Amino acid sequence: MKAGDEFDGQIGSDQACLDGGRVSQESLRTRKLTVHLSETMFERLKAATDRPGVGKSMVIETALERFLDPAPSVEDRFREDFDRIGSQLGRLQSEIRIVAETAALHARYHLTVTPPMPQSLQREACALGRDRFNELAEQVDRRVRSSRPLMQETIDRLADRRTSQVKPDNILPAASRERSVNAVSQPDLGGDLDRPIAAVREDGSNPNFRHLPNAFC
């Protein structure tokens, strides 16, 4: 159905005032447009504009505005949310694997090297273990509050150290290569003196750890 005579008209001031009334005179001008609509669509348009204050030009312009400048769909917003949740779950899965492997290695080592304890020493050992655990809980609380994961921080620091130490062997003298290997094999404790120690007053926090009778690392 031809409906060109239905769409010509002056835009109402309430429809034209966009952004708090800041509209140029150019946007207030109207141009005549002839379109063809199906009978069903024309009847729907006619029914929608039977209410006072609702003109066909206003309905058509609003429809064109939404078509030419569509707002983000609900699906797009949900897709962004799901992508963000997926990334968070991926990071969480990686951190859980690190925690699980750390706990497994720690438990296996202590179960291997810890000898049976006489009954007479168990009371004192339990008291020492309680004090150590309390101190460990305090350190964990500080790390959680500071949002600085110790394991990830250590992994990143070791990765940076390995990157800085990668040099072609052919440009180093033999003596320099030997000193470099020896330096890497020794624990670097100087840079960590001001950091909270990972172990709570255990033998694993001092250089004597590698010389214990039952140590195998």
Residue type, 143: R
- CA angle 45-51-52, nearest 5°? 130
Give tens-digit pLDDT for 139-169: 888 888 888 788 888 888 999 988 887 655 5
Where residue 37 falls among pLDDT bands split at 50, 70, 90?
confident
What is the pLDDT at residue 158? 92
For residue 155, which of 203, 97, 108 has the smallest C-alpha distance? 97
Where residue 65 falls among pLDDT bands split at 50, 70, 90?
confident
Cβ-contact 161, 185 below 8 angstroms? no
What is the pLDDT at residue 67? 83
Share of the chain above pLDDT 70, in %: 63
Alpha helices in the chain (DSSP H): 13-16, 25-28, 39-48, 56-68, 74-113, 119-146, 150-165, 174-185
What is the pLDDT at residue 24? 54
Q: What is the DSSP letter of 172?
A: S
Decide if pLDDT at 58 tops 90. no
What is the pLDDT at residue 130? 93
pTM of the model: 0.38
CB-based contacts of 111-115 (< 8 A; 24+ apart in sequence):
112/214, 112/216, 113/212, 113/214, 113/215, 113/216, 115/214
Give tens-digit pLDDT for 85-140: 999 999 999 889 988 998 999 899 988 988 888 989 999 999 999 999 999 899 88
49-58, 100-109, 173-182: the lowest-pLDDT one = 173-182
Give the SS3 label for residue 60.
helix
